[in-house]
Chains A and B, each alone.
Chain A
Amino acid sequence: MNSSSVNAQSGGDAKVAPGEELLSVANVTLRFGGVTAIQDISFDILKGEVRAIIGPNGAGKTSMLNVINGFYHPQEGTIRFRGETRTKMKPYEAAASGIARTFQNVALFTGMSTLDNIMSGRSLKMHQNFLTQMFYYGPARDEEIAHRRRVEEIIDFLEIPHIRRQPVGKLPYGLQKRVELGRALALEPDLLLLDEPMAGMNLEEKEDMSRFIIDVNQQFGTTIALIEHDMGVVMDLADRVVVLDYGKKIADGEPGEVQADQGVIDAYLGVPH
Chain B
Amino acid sequence: MASISGALDTFPKFLLHNAQKFGARSAMRHKDFGIWQTWSWSEMLEEVRKFSIGLQSIGVKRGDKIAVVGSNRPRLYWSFSAIQALGAVPIPVYADSVAEEMVYVLQHAEVRFAIVQDQEQVDKLLSIKDQLPNLESIVYDWERGLGDYDEPFLHNFSELQETGAALLADSSKSAEADWLEGIASGKGEDLSVMLYTSGTTGKPKGVMLSYDNLVISSQNANKFDNFDESDEIIAYLPLAWVGDHIFSYGQSMTAGYCVCCPESPDTVTENRREIAPTYFFAPPRVFEGLLTEVTVRMEDASPLKQYLFNYFLDVAKRVGEPILNGETVSLVDRIKYKIGEFLVYGPLKNRLGMTRMKVGYTAGEAIGPEIFKFYRSLGLNLKQLYGQTEASVYITAQPDGEISAETVGTPSPDVEIEIADSGEVMYRSPGVFMGYYKNDEATKETKTKDGWVHTGDAGFLDSHGHLRIIDRAKDVGKLTDGGMFPPKYIENKLKFFPNIKEAVAIGDGRDYVAVMLNIDLQPVANWAERNNIAYASYQELANHPQVYDMMAEHIDQVNLDLASEERVAGAQIHRFLVLHKELDADDGELTRTMKIRRTLINDRYDPLIDALYDGSSEKFVETEVVFEDGRKGSISATVQIRDMQPHPPLHQSGGMKEAAE
> A residues within 8 Å of B by Cβ?
148-149, 152-153, 155-157, 159, 161-162, 164, 204, 211, 214-215, 218-219
Contact = CB atoms under 8 A, between A and B. Distances in A.
Interface in B247-279: 263-264, 266-267, 270
A149 B32 CA distance: 11
B145 A211 contact: yes
Contact of B33 (A152, A159, A211, A219): A152
A179 to B, nearest CB: 15
A2 to B, nearest CB: 23
20 contacts: A148-B34, A149-B33, A152-B33, A152-B35, A153-B33, A155-B33, A156-B32, A156-B33, A161-B264, A161-B266, A161-B267, A162-B266, A162-B267, A164-B34, A204-B627, A211-B145, A214-B145, A215-B144, A218-B148, A219-B145
B654 interface: no
B147 interface: yes
A214 B145 CA distance: 8
B147 A219 contact: yes
Contacts of A218: 145, 147-148
B563 to A, nearest CB: 44
A162 B264 CA distance: 7
Interface in B537-587: none
B627 to A, nearest CB: 8
B264 A219 contact: no
A95 B351 CA distance: 42
A161 B144 contact: no
Contact of B34 (A152, A215, A219): A152
Nearest to A163: B266
Contacts of A204: 627
A117 to B, nearest CB: 15
Contacts of B32: 156
Given A161-B263, A162-B263, 4 more contacts: A149-B33, A159-B264, A218-B145, A219-B144
B145 A161 contact: no
B264 A157 contact: no
Contacts of B33: 149, 152-153, 155-156
A19 to B, nearest CB: 16
Nearest to B35: A152
Contacts of B264: 159, 161-162
Contacts of A219: 144-145, 147
Contacts of B34: 148, 152, 155, 161, 164
Instruction: Count chain B CB atoms within 10 A of each CB in A156, A204, A214 and give the residue with the most.
Output: A156
A204 B34 CA distance: 26
Nearest to A212: B145
Contacts of B148: 218
A201 B627 CA distance: 17
Contacts of A161: 31, 34, 263-264, 266-267
Contact of B270 (A157, A159, A162, A211): A162
Nearest to B145: A215
A157 B145 CA distance: 10
A155 B35 CA distance: 13
Contacts of A155: 33-34
A199 B267 CA distance: 28
Nearest to B142: A156
Instruction: Count chain B CB atoms within 10 A of each CB in A149, A152, A162, A164 and give the residue with the most.
Output: A162
Interface string B13-44: 00000000000000000011111000000000
Nearest to A164: B34
A152 B31 CA distance: 11
A233 B106 CA distance: 33
Nearest to A162: B266
Interface string B265-309: 011001000000000000000000000000000000000000000
Nearest to B633: A203
B353 to A, nearest CB: 15
Contacts of A159: 264
Contacts of B267: 161-162
Contacts of B31: 161
A152 B36 CA distance: 13
Contacts of A148: 34
Interface in B149-173: none
Nearest to A150: B33
Contacts of A156: 32-33
Contacts of B147: 218-219
A155 B264 CA distance: 12
Nearest to B267: A162
Contacts of B270: 162
A11 B148 CA distance: 31
Contacts of A214: 145
A169 to B, nearest CB: 17
A48 B147 CA distance: 14
A39 to B, nearest CB: 38
Contacts of B144: 157, 215, 219
Nearest to B263: A161
Nearest to B265: A162
Contacts of A152: 33-35
Nearest to B631: A203
A115 B304 CA distance: 33
Contacts of A149: 33
A162 B34 CA distance: 10
Contacts of A153: 33
A23 to B, nearest CB: 24
Contacts of B145: 211, 214-215, 218-219
Contacts of A215: 144-145
A149 B264 CA distance: 18
